[in-house]
Amino acid sequence: MVDHPRLLKVNKAAKSFGAVRVLEDVTFTVDRREAVGILGPNGAGKSTLFNLIAGELPLASGSIHFDGVDLGRSPPDVRVKAGIARSYQIPRPFEHMTVFENVLVGATFGSGRSGDQSTACNDILHRTGLYRFAGLAAGSLTLLNRKRLELARAMATEPQLILLDEIAGGLTPAECDELVGLIREIHAAGTTVIWVEHIVNALVRVVDRLIVLAQGTLIADGPPAVVLNDPRVRTEYMGGPSKDVP
């Protein structure tokens, strides 16, 4: 099998809700093993873009290629098996199941592997710092540990690409540092990362490239130092409510 250096190609992706166009001809590529941040004001279309890549919403027009394959019209389970995983802005564990069982669901149904998944699950629980909570109900976890569990469930599907949707929201600065460390480890181990986040200080400790969406269009794409000083980005994004910008 050929490894495509361009892991993700989003070409002229568009999406409307009724008469309202929320994404307009968004085009970008992400290379294998890159870490890319996505910034943009509230309502810019960031979560919608993730929903299009993960297959939770249908594309209106355009295409999405992943690892050389056109997946833009495939259902979410096909995309998970192809190697796309995501975390949600509001963690969505199975509250009454244990932490271990939550990870097991990802490993069993997401990865497509057969056989005993306990070793793989325990490994992920160790990596994400959740091993000692394995037997607890997911609903009893602190916010930081719920965020870790979002990552663990996504990692259990053995993704090539992980989409992180505002995963640092609501954490204290110290907790945010811990999460940043964990995401850096996941990236260093070879997983491609795309991270939508408003906490720019956290984002730039992980990513080496930033994309900015405003009103459904891509207005900047490049190294963080360049993008954060782009006059249009300053007006459209940082000119709004104060942001945590370095």
Give me the least distance between CB of 40 and ligand ATP, in Å please. 5
> Which listed range, 35-43, 92-100, 103-111, 125-133, lies at the site for ligand ATP (CB under 6 A)?
35-43
Closest CA to 77 of 101, 99, 56, 107: 56
Q: Who's near 153: CB < 8 A, 6+ residues apart?
A: 87, 93, 102, 103, 105, 106
The one among 13, 24, 26, 47 contacting ligand ATP by CB under 6 A: 47
Buried b (16+ CB within 10 A) or exposed e, 55-83: bebebeebebbbbeeebbebeeeebbebb
Q: Is 100 exposed, middle or buried (0-12, 13-18, 19+ CB in 10 A)?
A: buried
Give me the least distance between CB of 28 and ligand ATP, in Å please. 15
Does 108 bind ligand ATP (CB under 6 A)? Our answer is: no
Give me the least distance between CB of 1 and ligand ATP, in Å please. 33
Give me the least distance between CB of 120 and ligand ATP, in Å please. 32
Q: Is 194 exposed, middle or buried (0-12, 13-18, 19+ CB in 10 A)?
A: buried
Q: Which residue has the tokens 């939550």?
A: 102
- Adjacent-strand bridge partners of 185: none
Does 37 bind ligand ATP (CB under 6 A)? Our answer is: no
Does 48 bind ligand ATP (CB under 6 A)? Our answer is: yes
The one among 2, 42, 114, 135 contacting ligand ATP by CB under 6 A: 42
Give me the least distance between CB of 45 and ligand ATP, in Å please. 4
Closest CA to 183 of 209, 211, 203, 198: 203
Does 17 bind ligand ATP (CB under 6 A)? Our answer is: yes
In whole angstroms, give the CA distance from residue 157 to residue 159: 6
The one among 40, 106, 110, 159 contacting ligand ATP by CB under 6 A: 40
> Which listed range, 36-44, 77-85, 94-102, 175-183, lies at the site for ligand ATP (CB under 6 A)?
36-44
Does 55 bind ligand ATP (CB under 6 A)? Our answer is: no
Does 43 bind ligand ATP (CB under 6 A)? Our answer is: yes
For ligand ATP, give the closer residue by CB, 47 or 160: 47
List residues near ligand ATP by CB under 6 A: 17, 22, 40, 42-48
